[in-house]
Amino acid sequence: MAEEVLELDNRRKIFELCSKSPGLHFRELQRRLDIPLGTLRYQLDVLEKYEILIAKEEGGYKRYYPIDKPGLLKEKRILSYLR
């Protein structure tokens, strides 16, 4: 199912960026990808619904992480402090 969800170009770009830079927040994703805010919000919701990305509230920001990363919980805490 994940392959089908990632067939859409915008979703694939979002997933790839979150995989390369886990913990980015919504506005940073929008700046880096140059995707309209409404489109980005919708595509992030779809990626969360299909459990491809997970969002966590950290330091007043909603940050996005790929679910399939090993050791993600430890890394999330470290990345949150670094950002």
Q: How far apart are CA 76 and CA 54, in angstroms?
A: 11
Residue 49 has pLDDT above 60, yes or no: yes
Residue 75 has pLDDT above 90, yes or no: no
Closest CA to 54 of 3, 13, 19, 5: 19
**Average confidence (pLDDT) over 39-64:** 94
The third-level CATH classification (topology) of the domain covering 2-82 is Arc Repressor Mutant, subunit A (1.10.10)
Closest CA to 76 of 11, 24, 36: 24
Handedness of CA 48, 15, 20, 26 (dihedral sign): negative
Residue 83 has pLDDT above 90, yes or no: no
Across 6-10, 51-55, 67-71, least confident range? 67-71
pTM: 0.79
Sequence spans of domains, the chain: 2-82
**Average confidence (pLDDT) over 36-43:** 97
